Amino acid sequence: MSRIGKAPIAVPNGVTITVGTDNVVTVKGPKGELKESIDRDIKVEVVEGKVNFSRPTDQIRHRAMHGLYRALVANMVKGVTEGFKKELELVGVGYKAANQGNLLDLALGYSHNIVVEVPKELKVTTTQEKGDNPRIFLEGIDKQLLGQVAAKIRSLRKPEPYKGKGVKYKGEYIRRKAGKAAGK
């Protein structure tokens, strides 16, 4: 039995979970509503404030989906109650970040600025304090979308191993390399 899949999900107060036709799970909470389509082989039951998942067989495919869908629904419950946050840091001379609504304007050392349109489901803010690196804060209820947008922003200028310049997640460790060896 999947250790993750067999653990029930506790439903906090103010959150309603419904399983509709075609195995579509809808989670409504104080921060919003999320939907996820679940494979027809996996059975979902909402009983007494807990959500249970079960699988028909011990096939590798069923075992994998058992834990996957349980984790996805658990992330949905956490998203509609608390929400998720990601913080990115711009390391480099002249690197800047500014936003107007959901348009993110980045100066990352290229000859032009890069404008990224952040989906309306996410909230983006930027800070730029003197003596500190510019930071981008992303908030939202959908963990998948949040991670995807953060990865897209990071891919615009990945941190390089020699000076550590680029867009990185807060707390991310960049493995550094030694530069050229000095001449004789």
Find out whether 91 and 159 touch, Cβ atoms under 8 Å: yes
Please give the residue range of the domain that contains residue 113.
Answer: 84-169
Q: Which two tokens stand for residue 104?
A: 């993110």
- Domain final residue pick, 21, 52, 81: 81
In order along its 184 residues, the chain shows pLDDT tens digits of 468 888 999 999 999 999 988 889 999 999 999 999 999 999 999 998 899 999 999 899 998 899 999 999 999 999 999 999 999 999 999 999 999 999 999 999 999 999 999 999 999 999 998 889 999 999 999 999 999 999 999 999 999 999 999 999 999 999 999 888 876 6
Q: Is residue 25 part of a domain?
A: yes
Residues 35 and 90 in one domain: no
Residues 91 and 154 in one domain: yes
Residues 76 and 90 in one domain: no
Predicted confidence at residue 150, as pLDDT, reads 96
Please report, in angstroms and rounded to a whole number, the separation of the first and last CA atoms in the chain: 63
Residues 115 and 137 in one domain: yes
- Domain final residue pick, 27, 61, 81: 81
Residues 47 and 77 in one domain: yes
Q: What is the CATH number of the domain that holds 92?
A: 3.90.930.12
For the chain, what is the HEC assignment?
Answer: CCCCCCCCEECCCCCEEEECHHHEEEEEECCEEEEEECCCCCEEEEECCEEEEECCCCCHHHHHHHHHHHHHHHHHHHHHHCCEEEEEEEECCCCEEEEECCEEEEECCCCCCEEEECCCCCEEEEECCCCCCCEEEEEECCHHHHHHHHHHHHHCCCCCCCCCCEEEECCCCCCCCCCCCCCC
Q: Is residue 179 part of a domain?
A: no
Find out whether 2 and 69 touch, Cβ atoms under 8 Å: no
Minimal CA–CA distance to 109: which of 58, 147, 163? 163
Residues 164 and 89 in one domain: yes
- Domain final residue pick, 60, 81, 102: 81
Residues 110 and 153 in one domain: yes
Find out whether 1 and 44 touch, Cβ atoms under 8 Å: no
The tally of domains found in the chain comes to 2
Tell me the Cα Rg of the chain: 21
Predicted confidence at residue 124, as pLDDT, reads 95
Q: Is residue 153 part of a domain?
A: yes
Predicted confidence at residue 1, as pLDDT, reads 46
Predicted model pTM: 0.88
